[in-house]
Amino acid sequence: MNFYSIHAIFRFEMARSVRTLMQSLAAPVLATALYFVVFGSAIGSRMAEIGSIPYGSFIVPGLTLLAVLTQSVSNAAFGIYMPRYSGAIYEILSAPLSPTEIVFGYVGAAVVKSMVLAAAILITARVFVPYEVAHPFWAFFILLLCAVSFSMLGFIVGLCVDGWDKLEVVPSLVITPLTFLGGSFYSLNMLPPTWQTISLFNPVVYLVDAFRWAFFDVTEFNPMVDVAFLLGFLLVCIVIVGQIFRTGYRLQH
Amino acid sequence: MSNAISLRGLEKTYANGHQALRGIDLDIKHGEIFALLGPNGAGKSTLIGAVCGLVKATGGSIHIDGHELPRQYREARAKVGLVPQEMVNEGFESVLSSVRFSRGLFGKPPAPKLLEQILRDLSLWNKRDDATMTLSGGMRRRVMIAKALAHEPQVLFLDEPTAGVDVELRRDMWAMVRRLRDRGVTIVLTTHYLEEAEEMADRVGVISDGRLLLVENKTDLMARLGRRQLRLQLQQPLTQLPADLAGFPVELVDQGRELVLDVARDNQGIADFLRRLAANDIDFKDLHTSESSLEDIFVELLRKPA
């Protein structure tokens, strides 16, 4: 493992997001803040509590995850797609790098960005709605696991797509709807039985459930099963990335 | 001692079936400047790509300083620097941070002094804080060279280094290549400017349609295949060659207005020939000698069926 190589990639990626702070941090934080203004302060007060949790607080974990999941995928995908597009990938390929080092550099940077974003959103949310975190360690761990596995997913997307337009397909057309329908704004119990069953096939349901459990100590499944599910997803992503590097797919001619 | 680069039976067939390399055997010695010549699409860039990890070879073996690829990629790749043919837009990165990135990528600890020297050598030092995207094409080319040198490679690949580059940069580049060679860096360059190979290379390899047609010392190649000619414009056109000149490798061209004599490279025979002309009262108004360039040799080689 070469520290200098990982550091070079990591620093390059972080420099890019610092240059684009408006887009990488301000925009998602503002978007989330607007949700809290609308659903938390404005109409949240007219909504019934869910369990014993005020509606505005109830949506905090789901909205945080929504931002973390979409931004992890976008960031990691953009990070590796950019050099593929510009041709700068030649340098990565010609350098004495192992796939692990490349992944640590790109995915590591995307994870750090997502965690910073999550912190910014949680702090902003606290301004509008009250909440406390019941299991801080688990909250951090689940958030980290989400950031890592979805950054890996983004890395795969960035390696596989062949156009700018396809880069946003997964975050906007897959992650966002799954998160909206994944119980971010409601409890599954509030759905008609058919939709409850369909929701069980939405993987994001389990992530939202686990993360909300870490906040409010209420769960619809078993948080440990949720975490195991996340770990399994991460493993699948690792295997796919390994396979991409082994075959050189979309990287080498 | 192992060679800087050693290729055996290197083959590359692209997914679309195009066979870009058809069994290349090539040894490049430490410290030499090797020019790989060939027309567009001959396989030059594929060959460089295979050695530098951009292209996955489909057959044969590659050794860099005795380290086999891809098995010992860490040792092998650390020794190689690449300046690709295509210009890369690094966007908003500053020149200095872009070069620093390259050094780090190759796993080397920071070396500000060395990077400063590299940038100064390439007249980039006062541009170090500029975003690369604001630089002119020639300057960006220099940045790419600086990036390739940042990790102190032992072998430097220059893929068409002077394509679309102005005269000044070309001269700078040649000077830089010589300085690197003096420091013991092996240089492999591809070009289709023969002037460049002629000016710089120690050895020349000619590649066409994925095959190496020949590998030879440049001077030997020029001596073996190069020709010199003495051309004389005559005062009075001749209808036929005087019998007295029949012993010379001489031809009458341009409707008898010009005599063309093939001369050996040691210039033997010119004086003899001129005396004989004088003896036959043949006056000429002008004369000049010409030497075939690597270009002529190259065109000749490619015209012959391989």
The verdict on a CB contact (< 8 Å) between A97 and B105 is yes
Task: Tell me the CB-side half-sphere exposure of residue B299, using CA atoms within 13 A.
Answer: 7
| B304 pLDDT tier (thresholds 50, 70, 90) | low
Are residues B53 and B66 located together in one domain of the fold?
yes
Residue B119 pLDDT > 60, yes or no? yes
Q: Is B168 exposed, middle or buried (0-12, 13-18, 19+ CB in 10 A)?
A: exposed
Give the pLDDT of residue B11: 94
Are residues B116 and B54 located together in one domain of the fold?
yes
Q: How many domains does chain B have?
A: 2
Q: What percent of chain B has pLDDT over 70?
A: 95
Q: Position of tokens 């600086």?
A: B146
3-state secondary structure of B260: strand
Q: Is B260 exposed, middle or buried (0-12, 13-18, 19+ CB in 10 A)?
A: middle
Query: How many Cβ contacts (< 8 angstroms) between chains A and B?
Result: 82
Would you call the peptide bond into B70 cis, given omega within 30 degrees of 0 as the criterion?
Answer: yes
The answer to whether residue A26 sits within a structural domain is yes
Taking all residues of chain A, what is their mean pLDDT, rounded to a whole number?
89
The verdict on a CB contact (< 8 Å) between B93 and A12 is yes
The answer to whether residue A252 sits within a structural domain is no
Are residues B149 and B21 located together in one domain of the fold?
yes
The verdict on a CB contact (< 8 Å) between B84 and A4 is no
The answer to whether residue A146 sits within a structural domain is yes
- Determine contact, residues B246/B194, Cβ cutoff 8 Å: no
Are residues B240 and B123 located together in one domain of the fold?
no
Q: How many domains does chain A have?
A: 1
Determine the average pLDDT of the residues in A183-202: 86
Chain A residues within 8 A of B105 when measuring between CB atoms? 5, 8-9, 91-92, 95, 97
Are residues B194 and B245 located together in one domain of the fold?
no
pLDDT tens digits, B161-210: 877 777 888 888 888 888 899 999 999 998 877 777 888 899 999 888 89
The verdict on a CB contact (< 8 Å) between B90 and A86 is yes
Are residues B166 and B295 located together in one domain of the fold?
no
Give the pLDDT of residue B25: 95
| CATH number of the domain encompassing residue B187 | 3.40.50.300
Give the pLDDT of residue B60: 92
User: String of b and e for B140-162 (b: at least 16 CB within 10 Å)?
Assistant: bbbbbbbbbbbbbbbbbbbbbbb
Q: Which domain does B92 fall in, by range?
A: 5-223
Crossing angle (nearest 10°) for helices B218-225 and B294-303? 70
Domain edge (last residue) among B207, B223, B239: B223
Q: What angle do CA B85, B90, B91 make, to 5 degrees?
A: 135
Residue B1 pLDDT > 70, yes or no? no
The answer to whether residue A207 sits within a structural domain is yes
- Determine contact, residues B92/B130, Cβ cutoff 8 Å: no
In chain B, the N- to C-terminal Cα span, in Å, equals 33
Q: Please give the full DSSP string across B141-164, using - where no structure is assigned.
A: HHHHHHHHHTT--SEEEEESTTTT
| CATH number of the domain encompassing residue B235 | 3.30.70
The verdict on a CB contact (< 8 Å) between A94 and B56 is no
The answer to whether residue A253 sits within a structural domain is no
Complex confidence, ipTM: 0.85
Are residues B138 and B284 located together in one domain of the fold?
no
Q: Which residues contact B256 (CB under 8 A, 6 or more apart)?
A: B234, B237, B238, B239, B240
Q: Position of tokens 């803040």?
A: A33
Q: Which residues contact A144 (CB under 8 A, 6 or more apart)?
A: A111, A115
Q: Is A128 exposed, middle or buried (0-12, 13-18, 19+ CB in 10 A)?
A: buried
The answer to whether residue A100 sits within a structural domain is yes
The verdict on a CB contact (< 8 Å) between A98 and B74 is yes
pLDDT tens digits, B37-87: 888 888 998 999 999 989 999 999 999 999 998 889 899 999 999 998 887
Q: Please give the full DSSP string across A131-165, using - where no structure is assigned.
A: ---S-HHHHHHHHHHHHHHHHHHHHHHHHH--SHH
pLDDT tens digits, A4-49: 999 999 999 998 888 888 777 888 888 888 888 887 777 777 777 7
Are residues B12 and B46 located together in one domain of the fold?
yes
- Partner residue facing A252 (CB), from B56, B100, B147: B56
Give the residue from A85, A250, A81, A239 showing the smallest Cα distance to A170.
A81
Give the pLDDT of residue B265: 58
Q: Which residue of B has its CA nearest to A7?
A: B104
Q: Give contacts of B 187-226 with A, CB under 8 A.
A: none
Q: Which residues contact A82 (CB under 8 A, 6 or more apart)?
A: A88
Are residues B30 and B63 located together in one domain of the fold?
yes
| B306 pLDDT tier (thresholds 50, 70, 90) | very low
Q: Which of A125-129, A153-157, B191-195, B217-221 has the lowest mean pLDDT?
A: B191-195
Are residues B199 and B248 located together in one domain of the fold?
no
Give the pLDDT of residue A68: 94
The answer to whether residue A157 sits within a structural domain is yes
Q: Indicate the helix (H) or strand (E) that contains B222.
A: helix B218-225
Are residues B213 and B287 located together in one domain of the fold?
no
- For residue B47, give how far its alpha carbon lies from the nearest alpha carbon of chain A (Å): 12
What CA–CA distance (Å, rounded) separates A14 from B228?
A: 62
Say how many C-beta atoms besides its own lie within 10 A of residue B285's C-beta: 10
What CA–CA distance (Å, rounded) separates B20 from B211?
A: 9
Give the pLDDT of residue A24: 78
Q: What is the DSSP letter of B75?
A: H
Residue B95 pLDDT > 50, yes or no? yes
Determine the average pLDDT of the residues in A210-230: 89
